[in-house]
Structure 1
Amino acid sequence: MEYILEGLVLGLTLATLLGPIFVVLINTSMNYGARSGLVVGSGIWVSDLLFILFAYFFIHKIQHYVEDVQFKYWVGNLGGFILITMGIGQFFKKPDIKKIEFSSKYMRNLGFFEKDL
């Protein structure tokens, strides 16, 4: 029972981590709408599935490389560099602000609600 609870906590923690893919998904959804976000999310899901299948079937061929300390060091540093670079790029990227046009019917209703305040 202890292993199930630890696995559940670890799984939920990993599911809620904010990575670069999550940021791209939110960015796409906000800029292009829910349908585009769904397409990006589906692409992420398919690519994750293919990566998992590839790793499952071919891990024995690269196992001796993965266990090497130097490999872990360089892959960890490269991954960290990529994440930091993507984060800095998103932080300094100028946002594309779109002006929202309201119809006169909307403005008339808005004025009605403002009077109640």
Structure 2
Amino acid sequence: MDDIQAAIPLGFLLSFMIGPVFFVLLETSATKGFRAGVFFDIGVIIADIVFLTIAYFSSFQLLENLSNQPGLFVFGGTILLVYGIVIFIKKTRKKANLKASTGTYLGLVVKGFLLNFINIGVLVFWLGLIVIVGPSLDNEGDRILVFFSTVLIVYFITDLVKIILAKQLKRYLTQERILLIKKVLGIVIIVCGIVLITKGFLPKEKFNIQDGIERISEKKPAN
């Protein structure tokens, strides 16, 4: 129960981390409805589960390797940058065609998965979190499973609330407003891509994840 209680606020906070997934989820829910938002979010959660699985079985060694391969950040950032540019310049279809059909739901799952998966920073985040949280859970597989399962469940439930709230905006969306939302969304994703690319070009001494984790660990209160 202590592990679950500790995981709940983390899952809630993660749901409000500002990034491309956050904005695309709101845009998808507002323009295509509740189901579309849920299916998109399922794809995001699946990517997080894959990342967590990789992080758990790879742990610190993979984290150290990623810090020595900043090109991965450049690659992921470039994909985000291109995706943001496409969204920005793409013309919006007529409002009558905006509602997601059954055939598009799988595509939304794939879209959510890929948008989260190409952001290598998400993998680094989960890796760092496991390295930090693992010792407090005695590195026991069962406790780690309960902790991160709770984080993802709370994350998903909070996202459902966001989806419901965003869906309420649908009635106010005119063609011009939808176009404006998509252009703002494109700009946000472009900025996220540039930030990720910039991380790949940072000097190695400023990109030392190990030192960052050690500093965080030093600040943790003694048990």
Normalised by the length of structure 2, the TM-score is: 0.32
Query: Are the equivalent residues in 1 in contact too, given 2:16–2:22 (CA < 8 A)?
Result: no
Specify the alignment match of 1:95 in structure 2: 92
Offset, 1:63: 5.0
In structure 1, what residue type is equivalent to 2:36?
S
Specify the alignment match of 2:208 in structure 1: none
Specify the alignment match of 2:53 in structure 1: 53
Aligned-residue RMSD, C-alpha = 2.8
Normalised by the length of structure 1, the TM-score is: 0.56
Which segment drifts farther, 89-98 or 40-49?
Answer: 40-49
Offset, 1:54: 1.8
Query: Are the equivalent residues in 1 in contact too, given 2:29–2:36 (CA < 8 A)?
Result: yes
1:36 corresponds to 2:33: no
1:75 corresponds to 2:72: yes
Offset, 1:12: 4.2
- The answer to which structure, 1 or 2, has the higher relative contact order (CA under 8 A, 6+ apart) is 2
| Closer, same or farther: CA 61–13 of 1 in aligned 2, 3 Å | closer
1:18 corresponds to 2:30: no
Higher Rg of the two aligned structures: 1
Is there any run of 5+ residues in structure 1 with no aligned partner, and where?
Answer: 1-7, 100-117
Measured against aligned partners, the alpha-carbon deviations of 1:19-51 in whole angstroms (never above 9, x if no partner) come to 1x3343234323421111112112211221221
Percent of pairs with identical residues: 29
Offset, 1:15: 3.2
Measured against aligned partners, the alpha-carbon deviations of 1:54-86 in whole angstroms (never above 9, x if no partner) come to 211123564553242xx12x1222222122111
Is there any run of 5+ residues in structure 2 with no aligned partner, and where?
Answer: 1-8, 97-223
- Structure 1 distance, partners of 2:40, 2:15, is 20
- Structure 2 distance, partners of 1:45, 1:17, is 16
